[in-house]
Amino acid sequence: METFKFLLFSSYTFFLLLFPLLNIFLCSCEVPQTTLYLPITKDSSTLQYIAEVSQRTPLVPIKLLVHLGGRSLWVDCDKGYKSSTYKPAVCNTTLCSFAKSHACGDCLFKSQLQPGCNNNTCYIWGENPLINTYMDSAEIAEDVLAIGSTPGVRITWQRFIFTCVESYLSRRLANGVTGIAGFGHESPLSIPNQLALDPTLNKKFGMCLSSSTRSRGVIFIGSGPYYVYNPKKVDVSKDLVYTKLITNNRGFLLSEEYYIQVSSIRIAGQHVPLNRTLLSINKNNGVGGTKISSTIPFTILHTSIYDAVKIAFIKALPKNATLVEPPMKRFGVCFSSKNIRRTKVGQDVPMIDFILHKQSAFWRIYGINSVVQVKKDVMCLAFVGRDQTWEPSIVIGGYQLEENLLVFDLPRKKIGFSSSLKLQQTSCSKYDNTIQG
């Protein structure tokens, strides 16, 4: 199949060419919109969600951890980065300004110049949320990037801006993963914001994580539609529940994260008694509120919220569900699944609703996302209680997001939730990866 290429100029080239091309970008003509398909694999040992792209010249496949709050695409350049098209960003250039670089410097700690360590180059912060560690000298650079939508079809950018980091920042990444794919909503170097420089794309993407480690999910990049099969082709981006995207400015390193308003929690139709102040972001220190994360496996709840949810969930369990004591190490509530009926959306356990900005806007979590099978005939409530005194009170994790479509509409600053695609007798692994637009 013919290889398609969309040439994305480097950011400084884009600005230099802006005025000559003004008549193109401001014309009344319609530019055909494209939707890219970035396959996402769930790692069986770490439960991390992994994207695979190709980079460099010649092209080399690389695996990247999907990080919704990431500032950029970064790669561990200490692990044999070789490319004839690698170009570090020179200090005080438009590219450094565009990337919001905070510092410039020279290569001081290597025996020779190499990708990630060059003289007179500019830096941004690099971060690894798995180890809560930051690096203040992630070298800004450009190189070829290719996203493979289907076998034989590849979308290629000749000068994609990314950052090079040292190996210590890649600790706890899954085996074979050498970097992070950042989808932050503010940084000009995040994947959605940078790809939107291509006029055929826009700052909108949908994330659909598969619950299986054998079948891949997908991140749709672009305006949509987002098709899956059931077996007919269905646009699962229709009929979503939308809520406002909230920016938490507790610190410049955290401004990329996706926060939403959760105003209450309902279990089996009954409101859970909660300390409501925890559900809002404290304007003085930025703690509290609800964050969506693609880098933690299970939703974390502030201990007081978790205790209330646990009590309400146990109370609403079927009478023939026997609690298992002691519970598993990670989870606080476990029970025998011998007498629990299965439905098309998982075990028949109490439904959990996250009420958003108003009572009629809620995200419903069925058994397939609320409980997890830990061993034969034993299931656990798939939420974790933790002291979140200086953190978000709720961090929605990957297990709760699986087989749900989330649409991140950055221009309109809102996020859409589908609830489980199993209700439509389909899944995230059944995406239509044969269509380019």
Q: Supply the DSSP string of 219-288, one letter for each residue.
A: EEESS---EEESSSEEETTSS-EEEE-B---S-GGGTTSEEE---EEEETTEEPP--GGGGSB-TTT--B
Lowest-confidence segment of 60-64, 115-119, 149-153, 256-260 by average pLDDT: 149-153
Whole-angstrom Cα distance, residue 40 to residue 60? 18
Check residue 149 and give its pLDDT: 57
The percentage of residues in the chain with a pLDDT greater than 90, rounded to a whole number, is 79
Q: State percent of the chain over pLDDT 70.
A: 89
For the purposes of burial, counting CB atoms within 10 Å of the CB of 255, is it exposed (0-12), middle (13-18) or buried (19 or more)? middle
Give the distance, in angstroms, between the CA of residue 338 and the centroid of all CA atoms in the same chain.
35
Cis peptide before 225 (omega within 30 of 0): yes
Please give the pLDDT value at position 2: 36
Say how many CA atoms lie within 13 Å of 255 toward its Cβ.
9
Nearest Cα neighbor of 308 from 381, 399, 361, 258 is 381
Q: Which residues pair with 346 in a beta bridge?
A: 343
What are 233's strand-pairing partners? 229
pLDDT confidence band for 68 (50 / 70 / 90): very high
Cβ 17 vs Cβ 24: under 8 Å: no
d(CA 437, CA 202): 12
Task: State which amino acid sits at residue 93.
Answer: T
Per-position b or e across 257-280, b if 16+ CB within 10 A of its CB: bbbbbbbbbbbeeeebebeeebbe
Cα–Cα dist 165/170, whole Å: 8
Convert the pLDDT of each residue in 329-339 to its tens digit.
Answer: 889 999 999 98
pLDDT in tens, 118-139: 999 999 999 999 999 999 999 9
**Residue 290 DSSP label:** E
Q: Pick the closest to residue 77 from 121, 24, 37 (CA basis).
A: 121
Query: Which of the four pLDDT bands, split at 50, 70 and 90, describes residue 116?
Result: very high
The answer to whether residue 12 scores a pLDDT higher than 50 is: no
pLDDT per position as a tens digit, 180-208:
999 999 999 999 999 999 888 899 999 99
Q: How far is the CA of 25 from the CAs of 17, 22, 35, in angstroms?
A: 11, 5, 19
Residue 4, pLDDT above cutoff 90: no
CA 225 to chain centre: 19
pLDDT of residue 434: 55
Q: For 319-361, what is each residue's pLDDT tens digit?
A: 889 999 887 888 999 999 998 999 999 999 999 999 999 999 9
CA atoms within 13 A on the CB side of 213: 6
Cα separation, 256 vs 70, in Å, equals 7
Q: Closest Cα partner for 162 from 56, 309, 3?
A: 56
pLDDT in tens, 267-307: 999 999 999 999 999 988 999 999 999 999 999 999 999 99
Residue 376 in tokens? 């034969």
What is residue 213's predicted lDDT score, i.e. its pLDDT? 96
Sorting pLDDT into bands at 50, 70 and 90, what band is 105? Answer: very high
Q: Per-residue pLDDT for 437 more than 70? A: no
Task: Say if residues 301 and 400 touch (Cβ distance below 8 Å).
Answer: no
Q: Which two tokens stand for residue 187?
A: 């940084």
- Alpha-carbon distance of 269 to 315, in angstroms, equals 12
CA dist., res. 357 & res. 243, Å (int):
7
Report pLDDT digits (tens) over 92-104.
Answer: 999 999 999 999 9
Query: What does the alpha-carbon distance between residue 163 and residue 49 come to, in Å, rounded to a whole number?
Result: 20
DSSP letter for 2, please: P
In terms of DSSP bridges, do strands 378-381 and 371-375 run parallel, antiparallel, or are they unpaired? antiparallel
Lookup result for tokens 């953190």: 391
Q: For residues 186 and 304, give the distance between their C-alpha atoms in angstroms, rounded to a whole number.
A: 32
Q: 239: burial class by Cβ within 10 Å (0-12, 13-18, 19+)?
A: exposed
